[in-house]
Amino acid sequence: MLFARSHFVLAYDRCMPSPFPTSLAVSDAISHYRQLRELTCDELACVLLMHGHPIPADTVAEMERCERPVTVDELVAIAYALDTTPAVLLSHIPIDMPEPEGPFGTGLPSDVHQAELRAWIEGKTALDRESRVRWSEERAGRLRVRSAHHEEQLQGAYAELHELGELALQEGDTPSVQRLRWRIKDGEHALNQIEIALALTEHQLDRLGDDA
pTM metric for this prediction: 0.75
Q: Which is nearest to 81 in space by CA: 33, 21, 24?
A: 33
CB 211 within 8 A of CB 110: no
What DSSP line would sit under 93-125, residue for residue? --TTPPPPSS-SSTTS-TT--HHHHHHHHTTS-
Enter the DSSP assignment of 71: P
**pLDDT under 70 in the chain at which residues?**
1-19, 94-102, 166-173, 212
* 100 and 185 inside one domain: no
Range of the structural domain that residue 86 is part of: 2-121
For residue 154, what is the domain's CATH number? 1.10.287
Q: How many domains does the chain have?
A: 2
* 75 and 153 inside one domain: no
* 12 and 86 inside one domain: yes
Q: Give the per-residue pLDDT at 161.
A: 81
* 105 and 196 inside one domain: no
State pLDDT tens for residues 132-173. Answer: 999 999 999 999 999 999 999 999 998 888 887 766 556 556
Neighbours of 139 (CB within 10 A): 21
Q: Give the per-residue pLDDT at 14.
A: 45
